[in-house]
């Protein structure tokens, strides 16, 4: 007879709620800020989940173009298939986050 133990992780471990978005934009690497297309799927002050159309390796530093707020530098902290998660080097302001949220739901 076999026995196993299952632990259910609480999704509330996140430091803040992700805001859904649907923003088509660009990111770049190595000093080329508008190199590739992507879509911001959700966002927080500290990072974003992106839909990407080419491989984006783990630990890559990118420059992400955000609507009305300019560009931000971010580190790719996870990546699989056509999605990637990035952490911003500097957190977004409440005003920037609100602008992004509004543009993503226009």
Q: How far is CA 67 from the centre of its chain?
A: 14
**Residue-number span of the structural domain to which 26 is assigned:** 19-103
**Which CATH number is 60's domain given?**
2.40.10.220
For residue 8, tell me if it sits in a domain.
no
Distance CA 5, CA 84 (A): 31
Write phi, then psi, for 101 (nearest 5 degrees).
-60, -45
For residue 49, tell me if it sits in a domain.
yes
pTM of the model: 0.80
Residue at token pair 């298939």: 81
Residue 92: predicted pLDDT: 93
For residue 5, tell me if it sits in a domain.
no
Domain count, the chain: 1
Where residue 8 falls among pLDDT bands split at 50, 70, 90? very low
């Amino acid at each position: 007879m076999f026995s196993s133990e299952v632990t259910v992780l609480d999704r509330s471990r996140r430091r803040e709620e992700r805001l859904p978005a649907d923003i088509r934009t660009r990111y770049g690497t190595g000093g080329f800020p508008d190199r590739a297309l992507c879509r911001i799927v959700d966002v927080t002050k500290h990072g974003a989940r992106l839909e990407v159309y080419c491989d984006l390796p783990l630990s890559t530093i990118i420059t992400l173009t955000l609507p009305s707020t300019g560009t931000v530098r971010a580190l790719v902290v996870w990546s699989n298939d056509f999605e990637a998660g990035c952490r911003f080097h500097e957190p977004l302001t409440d005003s920037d986050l609100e602008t992004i949220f509004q543009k993503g739901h226009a």
